[in-house]
Structure 1
Amino acid sequence: MLRYTLMRLGIFVGCLVVVWGLVYSGLAPRGLGASNGMWVILLALVISAPISFVVLRKERDRASEQIVQRVDRVKANLDANRSQEDVVDEASRVQGRAS
């Protein structure tokens, strides 16, 4: 998961550098007044999102598999804990009736 996040951040930073270069060279429009920095960041986000979606498909699938495995493991642990609680609860009920 960390690898996917770092790769996505790298693509964004690369797009940010390219957009910044295009804006300051005059090939891309500048923002209005003091909004130029925000314009560059937003444009880099808009460009990097589809690139990340296509380029990082395999890595995203790997990350989602890891998440599914973690969720399944947590569910199994919760089920095991519930069954242990049920056994203890049933044992205490049986002991209470025997007394």
Structure 2
Amino acid sequence: MLRYTLMRLGIFAGCFVVVWGAVYSGIFPRGFGDANFLWVLLLSMVLSAPISWVVLRKERDRASVRIVQKVDRVKANLEANRNQEDVADDAARAQGQTS
């Protein structure tokens, strides 16, 4: 998951540099007054999202598989703990009834 996040951040940073260069060279319009940085940031986010969606598809699928495996492992551990508690509780009740 960290790898995907870093790759996505890298794509955003690349888009930011390209948009910043395009705005300051006059290819893209400048923002109003002091909002120029916000304009560049917003435009970079809008451009990097679809690029990340297409370029990082395989990495996103790998991260998804790892997350599902981890969730399944945690569920199995919880179920195992729940079963151990049930067995211990049944044993204690059975011992209490025989005494």
Question: TM exceeds 0.5?
Answer: yes
Runs of 4+ in 1 over 4 A off after TM superposition: none
**Partner residue in 1 for 2:53:** 53
Q: What's the C-alpha RMSD, in Å, of the aligned pairs?
A: 0.4
Deviations 1:10-67 (CA, angstroms, capped at 9, x unpaired):
0000000000000000110111111100000000000000000000000000000000
Matching of residue 86 in structure 1 with residue 86 in structure 2:
yes
Q: What amino acid sits opposite 2:33 in the alignment?
A: G
Q: What amino acid sits opposite 2:6 in the alignment?
A: L
SS in 1 for 2:71: helix
TM-score by length of 2: 0.99
Q: Which runs of 5+ in 1 are unaligned?
A: none
**Partner residue in 2 for 1:76:** 76
Cα distance in 1, alignment partners of residues 96 and 42 from structure 2: 67
Identity of aligned residues (%): 74
**Partner residue in 2 for 1:9:** 9
TM-score by length of 1: 0.99
